[in-house]
A and B are shown apart, each in its own frame.
Chain A
Amino acid sequence: MDWELIGNAAFRGVEFSLAPGESILTETGSMAWHQGDVTVSSNMKGGVFSSLKRAVLQGESFFQNTWTGGESGGLITLVSGSPGDIVPLEITPQLPLHLERGAYLANTGHIATNAKWEGFGGMFKEGLFAIRAEGQGTLFFSSYGGIDLVQVNGSYIVDNGYAVAWDSTLTHHITRTGKKIRSFLFGDQLITRFDGVGRLWIQNRNPQSLASFLHPFRRVKQNN
């Protein structure tokens, strides 16, 4: 399948050339423009309950879309909602990938995505919500910010909200900076420590920080 990254690293898109009968699976709402003979269908993969489960646990949209090339084929360009880059990654059965919720954009081939929920007791901030992508094909994931690729060999620490994807050979656990017992009162950070040998993709902007900045600009609900 032919595809091409378009735009620049901060506002990346990906254009697919779909031959007749060729399909890609995509995040809903990711289509920016298309030309030629392509059609979309929505999937409720695995029935209503698993779509619901996928939506709640992954933070993904309710459905995934399938775009398919028609008789004369066509082009379709996909983007994510956040400014940032797109990473195309070959997934093989030997090396599944763990991906943070919301980063999934599209895939070719046959890649199964399963929700894997790492809770943090639900007490303070949310834990790390990851999905596991395994199978064979090309996975496209997006970032908010620039992407740093770190080859972990031992341990590495990432603040919550910045880890985008990592090889399934890495384990991770959530911990805190600082040592004070009452440290939660002083805004100590929840951080994630990755251990093992493998690749770790880190984005350098935090969605939650942007949401907090924009919050005061939101209109106030009028209760009538």
Chain B
Amino acid sequence: MQTNIVGNPDFGSLEISLDPGEEIWAESGAMSRMSGQMQVKSKVLGSLPGALLRRMVAGESVMVGRYQGVQPGDFASFSPGLPGTVMEHTLNGPDDRFFMTAGAFLACTPGIKLKLKFGGLRSFFSSEGVVLLVARGTGTVWYNGYGACVEKQLDGVQPLVVDTGHVVAWEPTIDYKIKGSGGLKATMFSGEGLTMHFQGTGKIVVQTRTPPGLAGWLPFRM
């Protein structure tokens, strides 16, 4: 399998070519074009019970397509729903995990296990709470962020406070707490929403735009 990320940081996409029999799994709807003979099957990933799944990830597909090469030279391109940056992360075994916010998942090599988890603090101010995707296993995960993405290395000393919508992914060596911006009144009046306070050593990826930020800015008349 050959893979190539093109178009970062504005309209990142993942381009792959597959040998006959090789497979890649990608979020359903992400395929933009592929060679004529490529085989596609659908598969459900993720393991939240049905009702919880629907409520937590309404509009979020946990269905993937299994793309299999048939002829030498078979290729496909995958794009996220939002414009921005596509990144990759390598996982090295059944205990190696990577956390992503739901919606960041784009594709993975077969055999990677994905699990949806509720990340905490469903509150009066946020009907969503935080839904996470945990990837584990051996192989590669491709994930995306909305807009330009910044990778920050935390040193275990200085915490990083991130507006929840701006979080893309992080390594499990980092812990987090979810808080309002500074007390009830501050959160309500500052217009700053829930924040995640990250502490630990490792990598965290943040994005410069958020879907709720875009929705809040749009001049809907009714």
A and B directly contacting (CB within 8 A): yes
Q: Are A33 and B213 in contact (CB under 8 A)?
A: no
Q: What total of chain B residues lie within 8 Å of the partner, measured CB to CB? A: 36
B65 interfacial by beta-carbon distance below 8 Å: no
Contact with B along A93-115 (1 / 0, CB 8 A): 00000000010000000000000
CB-CB contacts below 8 Å: B151-186 with A:
158-163, 166, 181-182, 186
- 14 further A-B pairs in the complex, CB-CB below 8 A; given A10-B83, A11-B209, A83-B147: A7-B150, A10-B147, A31-B192, A32-B163, A33-B206, A40-B182, A41-B186, A62-B191, A79-B208, A79-B213, A80-B217, A81-B210, A81-B218, A207-B217
Interface set of B (CB-CB < 8 Å, partner A):
9-10, 83-84, 146-148, 150, 158-163, 166, 181-182, 186, 189-193, 206, 208-210, 213-221
A220 interfacial by beta-carbon distance below 8 Å: no
Pick out which of these stretches binds chain B: A181-189, A192-200, A210-218: A210-218
Q: How far is the CA of A32 from the CA of B146 in the complex (A)?
A: 13
**Listed A/B pairs (28) with beta-carbon separation below 8 Å:** A7-B208, A10-B10, A10-B147, A11-B84, A11-B146, A13-B208, A32-B166, A32-B208, A33-B162, A33-B206, A40-B181, A40-B182, A40-B192, A41-B186, A62-B191, A65-B191, A79-B147, A79-B166, A79-B209, A80-B213, A81-B214, A81-B215, A81-B216, A83-B83, A207-B218, A211-B219, A211-B220, A214-B218
A61 interfacial by beta-carbon distance below 8 Å: yes
Interface set of A (CB-CB < 8 Å, partner B):
6-8, 10-13, 28-29, 31-36, 39-42, 59, 61-63, 65, 79-83, 102, 207-208, 210-211, 214-215, 218
In the complex, which residue of chain B has the Cβ closest to the Cβ of A61?
A: B191
- Residues of chain B contacted by A79 (CB below 8 angstroms): 147, 166, 208-209, 213
Give A125 Cβ to nearest chain B Cβ, in Å: 10
In the complex, which residue of chain A has the Cβ closest to the Cβ of B220?
A: A211
In the complex, which residue of chain A has the Cβ closest to the Cβ of B185?
A: A42
Q: Are B181 and A36 in contact (CB under 8 A)?
A: no
If the complex has contacts A12-B208, A34-B161, A35-B161, are A65 and B10 also in contact, measured as CB distance less than 8 A? no
- Residues of chain A contacted by B220 (CB below 8 angstroms): 211, 215, 218
Q: Are A7 and B9 in contact (CB under 8 A)?
A: yes
- Residues of chain A contacted by B215 (CB below 8 angstroms): 81
